[in-house]
Amino acid sequence: MSIPHSSHWGAFRAVVTADGVQLTAHPDDPEPSALLANIPVAATPTARVLKPSVRRGWWEDGPGPDDRRGTDGYLAVEWDELLDRVAADYARVLADHGPQAVYAGSYGWASAGRFHHSQSQLHRFSHCLGGAVRSSWTYSHGVGEVLMPRVVGSQEPLISPTAWSSIEANSDLVIAFGGLPAKNSEVASGGISRHEVAGRLRTARARGAEFVLVSPLRDDLAAELDASWLDVVPGTDAALLLALCHVLQADGTYSREFLEKYTAGHEEFLGTLDDKTPEWAAEITGIPAGDIRALARRAVRGRTMVMVSWSVARTRFGEQPLWAAAAFAAMIGQIGLPGGGFGHGYASTGGVGKRAGSYPLPTFPQFADPLRVRIPVARISDALLHPGEAYEVDGRHENYPHLRIVHWAGGNPFHHHQDLQRLQRAFRAAETVIVHEPFWTSTARHADVVFPSTTTLERDDIGAARYDDRLIAMGRVHPPLGEARDDYWTLSELATRLGVGERFTQGRKAQDWIEHLYEEWRTGPAARAGIVAPPYAEFVAAGEFALPAEPGEKVLFASFRADPDRYPLRTPSGRIELHSQAIAGFGYDDCPGHPVWLAPEEVPDEEFPLHLVANNPATRLHSQLDHGATSQQGKVAGREPVRMHPDDAATRDLVDGSVVVLRSRRGSCLGGLVISDAVRRGVVQMSTGAWFDPVSGAEAGVTCGHGNVNVLTRDVGSSRLAQACTGQHAAVQVSAFDGVPPRVRVFDQP
């Protein structure tokens, strides 16, 4: 019998056959994701953590900073023994240093499922113990989370901008900075039962909408949309946007009425544009001045939507393109009109623009955080390496706490963080590193304690996401492999040993919780929202529940446009802030009070002459299931592919399909070369998510033998405002790899 199930990249049904787990996509999904084919490998022992495991040095010599993290061997031990030791160490640190010595930010995408969601589990556990240091914001869109509330009073442009349906029906022109890559719209945190973005774009195009792609990569927008491609130099979008604003000002075609009625600080902003000519921007961006002028003039001829992908802001000074895009859209004057204005993150996941509000969902309660100490999520290495040191963020002066225990469930910092050798040094400074993982990821291989977690296929749950219109009764497909246990079980055992077991579990087993969460939702928030859901048993028997469609269509800031005095934005002025007194007051030279062009410090030079674009992968979600079928089919010579323009390959005598070495100021890795004119000259593109393999790297004389691009990237915040992830860009050199490439070892048992 096939069993309903869900993942961040699609709902499906699964069945166990003699050949392993077989999946079929949800029948209502018009364009199921190829990532589904990665899932069956999770049901095999390859790369699975099969037993509770402990690093030899920690087990034998006790906790403490240790340079052997990342190279030491592991011992398989009994569950009880390991839980006792971990609980004793937790008790030691809490007694000697308090909860501010524990880091349980535990950033990561984990898996679909409302109850077993790893971060929720870990946060509830630490809140029972008096709290732990947590993280603020995300790697995905940390810049927008901090900047947008200051500019437009909320995170709405990046969480629920104008609906796709409004763009489909009304936009004449879509200008997509960073594009609308299909690969990113295939995934949505918590699940996505229908993949609709590609279809909506096709309909808009068939109606006559035109698309302009601003990106160094041509395939950041589907070829069928017949877009004009402005192949911008990476990291220069803000200069392009300021020049677009300049043209509207010079032509006198901007909406003075909109600026006066709906914005604050427009005089200051307009006063900075005189020298931001298309000729000035052409030098920086590589886009001909004539094309810049033509685009600005085209933008005011019809209904125009200005979009900035999350990735464009995932850069040094990433605040600037986002703020400048809001300013350009304000000058066009269509914010609040159907199909017009601006948005941040369309197609950056499948949920953005899908619906106006979010559905109420069954939610595992975490209790309040008694400690309330947070660090910006992408500053984890700084915190571990510089305890007590001062830093600034969003107008505040803070000090990093002294972290001794690092506790992670559902994330892979040795994939997601920048400058992995620095992260290695940071993890080595901790006293104890605890990781809950189904797989021997590189983060697990840098931990002292590795608790084997179940995968979703091994447990029941409720699949649901804020912007998806279906609840899936996820069923257990097969029993846990080896000694894997649910994170809930492991944390319950630790909680019991630390004297808070009853508070953590409230006397419920996992199955009790799932039913309880569903019923609590059905009779509470769902009922209040007018959603009539069946009782739990009927929901499970049906396999899913379709949530009601939403009436009307979301247009971002429509009510503000209709009456800005009655519906002011939650900014100090109540208006869109083209100049922010608050930000100006912070005195940050890396993020002044209005959008500016700031040249990134690291640009290609003689030693590292190429721009690297380190974007999210097309063949897996982040680093998840890198050993799965789709991900493996995408590898070139067993490494992560790196794409390069034919001219750049010719200058270096590089051959398509060969193994190459990428080097930056931070480190080096191997990659498999793909020569492609979809990449701008002077740019190479390599996706994140190949598991970090220092072992095969050491053999090859590089930092990673497999192709984890984050050995190359720089660990620096976007600015003192957002302190967000800047992993998209770096300067690199690429050369041929001489010799026999080592075997990738990262999927072997350690």
Kindly list the catalytic residues: 107, 109
Nearest CB to ligand PGD, comparing residues 57 and 689: 689
State which residue has the least CB distance to ligand PGD: 727
The region, left, alpha or beta by phi > 0 then psi within -120 to 50, assigned to residue 62 is left
- Return the ∠ at Cα 317 (arms to 557 and 232), rounded to 5°: 85
Q: Whose CA is closest to 33, among 469, 358, 309, 350?
A: 350
Q: Binding-site residue total for ligand PGD (CB under 6 A)? A: 37
Spatial neighbors of 372 by CB under 8 A, at least 6 apart, are 131
- Could you please report the per-residue DSSP string of 272-335? T-TT--HHHHHHHH---HHHHHHHHHHHTTS-EEEEE-TGGGSSTTTHHHHHHHHHHHHHHT-T
Q: Does 172 bind ligand PGD (CB under 6 A)?
A: no
Is 667 within 8 Å of 701 (Cβ atoms)? Answer: no
Selected from 193, 571, 713, 719, the binder of ligand PGD by CB under 6 A is: 713
Residue 644 sits at φ, ψ, to 5 deg, of -145, 145
- Tell the smallest beta-carbon distance from residue 108 to ligand PGD (Å): 3
Q: Which helix (H) or strand (E) holds 473?
A: strand 470-474
Binding span for ligand PGD by CB under 6 A among 332-340, 387-395, 526-534, 707-715: 707-715
Nearest CB to ligand PGD, comparing residues 485 and 579: 485
Binding span for ligand PGD by CB under 6 A among 266-274, 287-295, 593-601, 709-717: 709-717
- Residues 67-126 binding ligand PGD (CB under 6 A) are 108-111, 116, 118
Distance CA 726, CA 602 (A): 12
Nearest CB to ligand PGD, comparing residues 623 and 668: 623
Residue 524 sits at φ, ψ, to 5 deg, of -105, -100
- Tell the smallest beta-carbon distance from residue 458 to ligand PGD (Å): 9
- Residues 290-319 binding ligand PGD (CB under 6 A) are 311, 314
Binding track, positions 332-371, relative to ligand PGD; x by CB under 6 A: ----------------------------------------
- Residues 590-619 binding ligand PGD (CB under 6 A) are 614-616
Nearest CB to ligand PGD, comparing residues 263 and 311: 311
Nearest CB to ligand PGD, comparing residues 201 and 709: 709
Distance CA 4, CA 11 (A): 8
Selected from 688, 696, 719, 733, the binder of ligand PGD by CB under 6 A is: 688
Judged by DSSP in three states, 508 sits in coil
- Tell the smallest beta-carbon distance from residue 81 to ligand PGD (Å): 20
Token reading at 387: 């305890």
Q: Does 63 bind ligand PGD (CB under 6 A)?
A: no
Token reading at 17: 């056959």
- Residues 470-499 binding ligand PGD (CB under 6 A) are 487
Is 120 within 8 Å of 81 (Cβ atoms)? Answer: no
Nearest CB to ligand PGD, comparing residues 348 and 719: 348
Selected from 345, 438, 641, 667, the binder of ligand PGD by CB under 6 A is: 438
Selected from 303, 727, 737, 742, the binder of ligand PGD by CB under 6 A is: 727
Binding span for ligand PGD by CB under 6 A among 390-398, 468-476, 563-571, 724-732: 724-732
Beta strand 263-264 with 576-577 is parallel
Q: Does 664 bind ligand PGD (CB under 6 A)?
A: no
Q: Which helix (H) or strand (E) holds 673?
A: strand 668-675
Distance CA 437, CA 445 (A): 10
Q: How far apart are the first and last CA of the chain?
A: 36
In single-letter form, the type of residue at position 729 comes to: H
3-state SS of 514-564 is HHHHHHHHHHHHHHHCCCCCCCHHHHHHHCEEECCCCCCCCCCCHHHHHCC
- Tell the smallest beta-carbon distance from residue 139 to ligand PGD (Å): 4
- Residues 396-425 binding ligand PGD (CB under 6 A) are 409-412, 415-416
The region, left, alpha or beta by phi > 0 then psi within -120 to 50, assigned to residue 117 is beta
Nearest CB to ligand PGD, comparing residues 335 and 434: 434
Token reading at 609: 């002459």
Binding span for ligand PGD by CB under 6 A among 126-134, 249-257, 533-541, 705-713: 705-713
Selected from 709, 711, 721, 744, the binder of ligand PGD by CB under 6 A is: 709
Q: Whose CA is closest to 139, among 182, 105, 115, 162?
A: 105
- Tell the smallest beta-carbon distance from residue 460 to ligand PGD (Å): 13
Selected from 621, 684, 704, 731, the binder of ligand PGD by CB under 6 A is: 621
Judged by DSSP in three states, 398 sits in strand
Is 331 within 8 Å of 739 (Cβ atoms)? Answer: no
Q: Which residues contact ligand PGD by CB under 6 A?
A: 108-111, 116, 118, 139-140, 311, 314, 409-412, 415-416, 436-439, 441, 453, 487, 614-616, 621-624, 688, 709-710, 713, 725, 727-728
